[in-house]
Amino acid sequence: MTFSPKIELHLHLEGAAPPAFIRGLAREKDIDLSGIFRTDGSYDTGDFKRFLDVYEAAASVLTTPEDYARLTVAVLEDLSARGVIYAEVFTAPQIAAKNDLPLWRDHVAAMTEAADTVPGIELRQIATCVRHFGPEGARGAARCAAETTGGQVTGFGMGGDERVLSPEDFTWAFDCAREAGLGLTSHAGEFGGPESVRDTLDHLKVARIGHGVRAIEDLALVDRLAEDGIVLEVNPGSNVALGVYAKIDAHPIERLRNRGVKVTVSTDDPPFFHTDMDAEYEALHRAFGWDDDIFRQINRTAAEAAFCDADTRTTLLKALE
Ligand code: ADE
Ligand code: ZN
C-alpha cells in the first residue's frame, strides 16, 4: 500500500532525528549519550516516561542553528522521498533555545532556509511548549512563537506529559499565540482520558488536537468533536508503540472516523516508534481496509486543517485531486 501525495501534520522535529544523526552530533560535541541507545543502535525507549527522558536526552545535543538546519534537511529529504508534499513540524523554543528569543529567531531562520533547499515538500513550523516544564516556560515559548509569527511559523502547540498540570494552566500561553494569529493545537487524549480533551477544548480553544484518540471513551465528546469540526492529528504507530493500545486493530481511529470525526494520520516521532508514513498507511490498510479513496479523504482533511495560507491550501488540494 503506497499512497501519494501525503500531508503530515504531527511530527516533532527533535523526535524525527534518526539515532545515527544524534549519535554523530554527540560524537562531534563529545557528549556521552550511551545510555539512550540499544546495542542495535536504536533508541532505548520503554514506557511514556522513559520515552520522554530519552527524547530529551537525544534533543540535548541539538543546540545551534546549524544543528537545526542539518536536521531539517535530513528529515524533509526523507519525507519528500516518501511522497510527503507538506509537513508541519513541532519545534520547541524551550529545548534548544531555552526560550532565548534571539537564539530562537536564529533557529527559525536556519530551519526556514534549510527547508527551502529541499525540493518537493513545503514546511510549516509549529512552535511548541512542553507541558511538564510548566506554565512559565510555556509563556516564554508563546512569546517566542508570537515574535516569529509569519513566514514558516504558523502554529503554536503543546506536547509533553499530559498527566501533569491541567490545560487551564496554559491559557495565557495559548491566548498569546492566538492573538499573534497562530493556529492552535495541543496534545490531549493520549495519556489522559476524555476529560483531558474536553478541558483542552474549553480552556485552550484549539482547532486541532494532537492524538485525541481517547475521546472514544466518551461518545458525547466524540459527537462534540464531530459537530465542532475539531481535527485530530492521529498517530496510530506511536499509540501502539507507547502502549496506549495493544495493537493497531484495537486503535479507535476507524470508530472515530465512522462517527464523523475529522481524523488525519501522522507519525509523531518516527525513529522512536519504528514507523514512517508508508508504514502507517500500510497498517491502516491491513487493519481497517483503508483504500486510496479513504487516504485521499484523510489528506484532504489535513490540507483543510493545515496552518497555512489560502494559496498553499489550494495548491495542496489540487495536488490531491
Ligand atoms: N513529545 C514528543 N512526542 C510526544 C508524544 N507522543 N506525546 C507527548 N509529547 C510528545
Ligand atoms: Zn506528538
**For residue 312, what are the contacts with CB-CB under 8 A and spacing of at least 6?**
86, 122, 306
Give 196-227 pLDDT, tens digit per residue: 999 999 999 999 999 999 999 999 999 999 99
CA of 297 to the centre of ligand 2 (A): 22
Confidence (pLDDT) at 96: 86
Dihedral sign, Cα of residue 293, residue 299, residue 305, residue 308: negative
Is 108 within a domain? yes
Give 141-182 pLDDT, tens digit per residue: 999 999 999 999 999 999 999 999 999 999 999 999 999 999
Give 96-118 pLDDT, tens digit per residue: 899 999 999 999 999 999 999 99
Is 32 within a domain? yes
What percentage of residues in the chain have a pLDDT greater than 90? 99
- What average pLDDT does the segment 241-250 reach? 98
Is 165 within a domain? yes
| Full domain range(s) for residue 30 | 6-315
CA of 245 to the centre of ligand 1 (A): 16
CA distances from 289 to 2, 85, 120 (A): 13, 24, 29
- Confidence label for 17 from pLDDT (cuts 50, 70 and 90): very high
- Confidence label for 2 from pLDDT (cuts 50, 70 and 90): confident
pTM over 0.95: yes
Is 195 among the residues known to form the active site?
no
Is 320 within a domain? no
Measured CA to CA, the distance from residue 244 to residue 288 in angstroms comes to: 18
Give the pocket of ligand 1 (CB within 6 Å).
12, 15, 55, 159-160, 187, 190, 238, 268-269
CA-based nearest residue to 263, from 217, 185, 208, 308: 208
The whole-chain average pLDDT of the chain stands at 98
Catalytic pick from 190, 233, 254, 280?
190
Alpha carbon 122 to chain centroid, angstroms: 15
Is 81 within a domain? yes
- What average pLDDT does the segment 55-75 reach? 97
Is 226 within a domain? yes
Confidence (pLDDT) at 299: 98
**For residue 319, what are the contacts with CB-CB under 8 A and spacing of at least 6?**
5, 85
Give 256-315 pLDDT, tens digit per residue: 999 999 999 999 999 999 999 999 999 999 999 999 999 999 999 999 999 999 999 999
The closest ligand to the CA of 161 turns out to be 1
Is 321 within a domain? no
Residue type, 293: D
Counting from 1 in the atom list of ligand 1, the atom nearest the Cα of 130 is 9
Give 249-262 pLDDT, tens digit per residue: 999 999 999 999 99
Which residues have beta carbons under 5 A from ligand 2 (an ion)? Answer: 268
| Pairing, β 84-91 against β 122-130 | parallel
Query: How many structural domains does the chain have?
Result: 1
Is 61 within a domain? yes
CA of 13 to the centre of ligand 2 (A): 10
CATH number of the domain to which 165 belongs: 3.20.20.140
